Amino acid sequence: MARALELVAENAGLSGSGVAAGARPVTAEDAWQAVANYSATASWTEIAASAARALGLQPYLCEDSLGFDPGELPALARVGEGQWLVVIGRRGRRLTVVQLDERGERRVRLTPTQLRALVGRQPWLLMRPLLALDPIGVARRPVLKDRTWLRLRAFLGLERRELWVVVIYAIVLGGLTLATPIAAQALVNTVAFGAVLQPLVVLTILLLAGLGFAGALGVLEGYVVEVVQRRVFVRIADDFGRRLPSVRGDALDGRYGPELVNRFFDVFTAQKAVASLLLQGVEALLTAVFGLMVLALYHPILLGFGLAIVAGAAVVFVLLGKGATKTTIAESKAKYEVAGYLEEMARHLFALKLAGGGEHAMRHLDGLAAGWLSRRASHFRIVFRQILGALALQVIASATLLGLGGWLVVERELTIGQLVAAELIVTAVVASLSKLGGKLETVYDLVAASDKLGHLLHLPVERSGGELPRSSEGALRVEVQGLSSDGGEVSDFDLTVDPGEVVAVTGDPTASSALVELLFGLREPTTGSVRIDGYDLRDVDLARIRRRVAVVREAEVWPATIAENLRAVATNVPVAAMWKALDAMGLGAFVRRLPLALHTPLVPSGSPLPRLGGMRLSLARALVADPGVLVLDGALDALPPGEGAVLLERLAKGRTVIVVTTDPDLAARASRRIVLRAEVRS
């Protein structure tokens, strides 16, 4: 299995030639380590899926090979004891398959029908990179002073196959743009030797065919660019959707998560910028290159003229653009500061309506807007001088060629037709350079977008994979030994909670919250260990152990229906179980009175549920998940006096409960009470 996973990782772009430069590739040792120490009782799909996650892969199980789409690559299947098939590629109608057994490995070419016949009805595991944008992590290398351009290159490299298609189309289109100047040269020469109709007709037909072919290629190019835009959006959305649930608990210290996620909107900037640069920027660049090459064929002096244009373009785009990257990123940061503050104003409407609240908010907002204006002005100064430089280059080049070309015609070193063609070519070249100058703002927007998206991509994520815990029901045992947190809130803490026991944790709120996050694996302890059902959180598959552990800290309501909120933790929950959980948490009667009952859509604030309805719904969701360990971090303290104790009794049935509270009545209902202070003692 280890060699099979190594092949899968290589063909998913995580090792071998497919890995991004600077990123650590998956090695054979990694693959062997990933499958080691798993229980022999687990199925091969469970072991392979967990090992794949440890290698940075996201497995998708296809239960029946008849439903397997051979276009989904790479994929893994077991056809016998010690016998594996890995689909790694496709050419035409045949798939490239690696067969692994005790005799070694062999590559064969099979049709989808032959592959299905070979596998039978065995399940498949389809593999993708766990985080689609992880190759951009290459830009995290600390030795680099400026990571922005490297990050942008890595971002575009994810679509390199489609980008090469666009470049090929642009090369052909760039060559075809010279059809009109060359046709004009031929026309002038033909007319100069006498008016003959037949060559004129042939020339017109050839020009029509060339321009028609160019138009068709332009349509195909536009379609490919549209595909790239869709892939960019879906790739980023998929990555963020997988990355956010995996972000480490300490990654958002000192940050506000919802405001940080606003950076996702830069995906639209990236889409439009990529489309504009691919459709117009690449074509303009290649048009300029081909035009200067044709000029060089007319006369050596025109070759020097072309090199002078190239030098002038370098001055405009490089020298005059110095510092633009920093200013565009600074402008983008100021923009998000304004957007974030407006978001907070919408979140604190009552504070704004207090005496002086609105005026204070507006003064602060004015300061943020002034900051954006200042940074925008700094950036535009650079862009403006580049625009002036591009226009100056266009004027000087056109006027110089007219005088230089006329002199060459007078000296009989250039024909009139060549002069006309050269003038048209230079007009096209300088127009292309001017168009490129107009795209500078687009380039800077793309750079800023990649920088902002990088803020989310660089959030540290939890490890994936690990030992697979056995399936167990009922209450679980919790053991804490010598636990200390990196912030010092928890120090050398010991605790053992027997299955079915209810333990109250009181005292310092900061220490209590730190303890909860350590128990749930959101943070890693500096010393000590946490064991749940006998499994050390440092070794176990966190995703699997969390199926048996639930934490309720505050009201968390999804913008979905009540039923969908309850099924967020367990998709196969029957309706009867949902009603039972809602009734237990005191919310069932209210939901029954709603016109749509369980199908009532909710907003993140919890509306139309009553006050504290969001917290009751969160508790009901935890009840539906049926965890073996339930941690309540202040979740019952906001409820009316006496009601929290009633709900605690209902929640504690059949499970281990650790309740963090400041309510003496709740603490009295627990079998034990732990007091946390600045230096935690049990």
Tell me the pLDDT tens digit for each residue of 58-71. 777 776 655 555 55
The continuous run of DSSP H or E covering 397 comes out as helix 357-410
How confident is the model over 173-190, as a mean pLDDT?
A: 69
Tell me the pLDDT tens digit for each residue of 77-87. 888 777 888 88
Beta bridge mates, 75 = 87, 126
Greatest mean pLDDT range, 207-216, 446-455, 578-587: 578-587
Burial tier of 3 (Cβ tally within 10 Å: 0-12, 13-18, 19+): middle
| Three-state helix/strand/coil letters over 177-189 | CCHHHHHHHHHHH
E-state strands within 63-197: 75-80, 83-91, 94-101, 104-110, 124-129
The two tokens of residue 196 are 């003959």
How confident is the model over 159-185, as a mean pLDDT?
A: 74
| CA gap 569, 547 in Å, rounded | 8
pLDDT of 12 strictly over 70? no
Check residue 43 and give its pLDDT.
75
DSSP secondary structure code for residue 561 in this structure: B
Check residue 40 and give its pLDDT.
53
Beta bridge mates, 552 = 632
On whether the 478-676 domain is CATH 3.40.640.10, my answer is: no
| CA gap 6, 32 in Å, rounded | 9
pLDDT of 191 strictly over 60? yes
The two tokens of residue 180 are 């009109």
Tell me the Cα Rg of the chain: 33
Model confidence band, residue 36 (pLDDT cutoffs 50, 70, 90): low
Left, alpha or beta for 632 (phi > 0: left; psi -120 to 50: alpha)? Answer: beta
| CA gap 272, 441 in Å, rounded | 12
Alpha-carbon dihedral sign for residues 201, 204, 206, 208:
negative
Domain range annotation of the chain: 2-130, 148-457, 478-676
Share of the chain above pLDDT 90, in %: 14
Beta-carbon contacts of 449 under 8 Å, excluding residues fewer than 6 positions away, are 266, 267, 269, 270, 273, 332
The two tokens of residue 185 are 């040269």
What is 2-130's CATH number, 3.90.70.10, 1.10.1200.10, 3.40.50.2300, 3.40.50.720?
Answer: 3.90.70.10
Q: In this structure, are residues 655 and 474 in contact, taking their beta carbons and an 8 Å threshold?
A: yes
Q: In this structure, are residues 453 and 263 in contact, taking their beta carbons and an 8 Å threshold?
A: yes
Which residue did the predictor score with more confidence, 281 or 614? Answer: 614
Whether the domain at 148-457 and the domain at 478-676 fall into the same CATH topology: no
- Which residue, among 236, 288, 482, has the nearest Cα to 393 in the 3D structure? 288
Tell me the pLDDT tens digit for each residue of 255-312. 777 878 888 888 888 878 888 777 777 777 777 777 777 777 778 887 888 888 888 8
DSSP secondary structure code for residue 72 in this structure: S
The two tokens of residue 11 are 């063909």
Tell me the pLDDT tens digit for each residue of 368-399. 999 999 999 999 999 898 888 888 888 888 78
The two tokens of residue 506 are 């009181």
Backbone angles phi, psi at 640, to 5 degrees: -55, 150
The two tokens of residue 461 are 């994520």
Backbone angles phi, psi at 23, to 5 degrees: -85, 150
Check residue 11 and give its pLDDT.
66
DSSP three-state, residue 346: helix
Question: Could you tell me the CA-to-CA distances from 68 to 85, 102, 189, 263, 564 in Å, in that order?
Answer: 14, 26, 64, 36, 29
Check residue 380 and give its pLDDT.
92
Alpha-carbon dihedral sign for residues 316, 317, 322, 324:
positive
How confident is the model over 413-427, as a mean pLDDT?
A: 75
Starting at the edge strand that comes first in sequence, how are the strands of the sheet with 75-80 ordered? 57-62, 124-129, 75-80, 83-91, 94-101, 104-110
How many residues are listed for the chain in this entry?
A: 682
- Which residue, among 450, 443, 454, 451, has the nearest Cα to 273 in the 3D structure? 443
How confident is the model over 336-357, as a mean pLDDT?
A: 83
| CA gap 21, 216 in Å, rounded | 36
Q: In this structure, are residues 211 and 321 in contact, taking their beta carbons and an 8 Å threshold?
A: no
| CA gap 612, 555 in Å, rounded | 8
Tell me the pLDDT tens digit for each residue of 136-155. 554 444 434 456 666 677 77
| CA gap 678, 649 in Å, rounded | 30
Mean pLDDT (the chain, rounded): 80
The two tokens of residue 215 are 């138009």
Query: Pairing state of beta strands 502-507 and 672-676?
Result: parallel
- Helix, strand, coil percent content, the chain, rounded in steps of 5: 60, 15, 30
| Three-state helix/strand/coil letters over 133-170 | CHHHHHHHCCCCCCCHHHHHHHHHHCCHHHHHHHHHHH
Longest dimension (CA), the chain: 111
**Residue 478 Cα to chain centre, angstroms:** 36
| CA gap 578, 623 in Å, rounded | 9
How confident is the model over 357-374, as a mean pLDDT?
A: 90
DSSP three-state, residue 185: helix
Determine the number of helices (DSSP H) and then strands (DSSP E) in the chain. Answer: 25, 15
How many other β-carbons are positioned within 10 Å of the β-carbon of residue 355? Answer: 6
Tokens 């379609």 correspond to what residue?
Answer: 223
| Three-state helix/strand/coil letters over 408-461 | HHHCCCCCHHHHHHHHHHHHHHHHHHHHHHHCHHHHHHHHHHHHHHHHHHCCCE
How confident is the model over 35-56, as a mean pLDDT?
A: 67
148-457: which CATH topology? Answer: ABC transporter transmembrane region fold (1.20.1560)
